Amino acid sequence: MYFGKNEANIHQLVDMIHQKYGANPAAVYLRADRETPFDPIVQVMSILSDAKLPVSIVTQPMERNARR
């Protein structure tokens, strides 16, 4: 997991966000590629939700000819 370009520990994520953006950031953007297992994504969303941080998920459109 990364916070910006730096590796991050999930247990330090909320503190890292507060240190960089203050107590009430407008949004936290979560980005994962299709290879990322869903469980870590849900864990991050849960931690951010428990900290009352607004979470938005960044997605990328599928390619037109991509298989599902």
Per-residue confidence (pLDDT) for residue 35, from 0 to 100 = 87
What's the mean pLDDT in 26-43?
91
The predicted pLDDT at position 60 comes to 76
pTM listed for this prediction = 0.78
- Residue 67 placed within a domain: no
For the stretch 41-63, pLDDT in tens is 999 999 999 999 999 998 877 77
Has residue 28 been placed in a domain? yes
Amino acid at 1: M
Q: Which residue has the higher pLDDT, 67 or 33?
A: 33
What residue ranges in the chain does DSSP mark as E strands? 2-3, 6-7, 28-31, 55-58
Q: What is the CA 36 to chain-centroid distance, rounded?
A: 12
So what's the pLDDT on residue 10? 94
Total number of domains constituting the chain = 1
Q: Does the residue 65 lie in any domain? A: no
The percentage of residues in the chain with a pLDDT greater than 90, rounded to a whole number, is 68
Give the domain extent around 6.
2-58
Let me know if residue 22 belongs to a domain.
Answer: yes
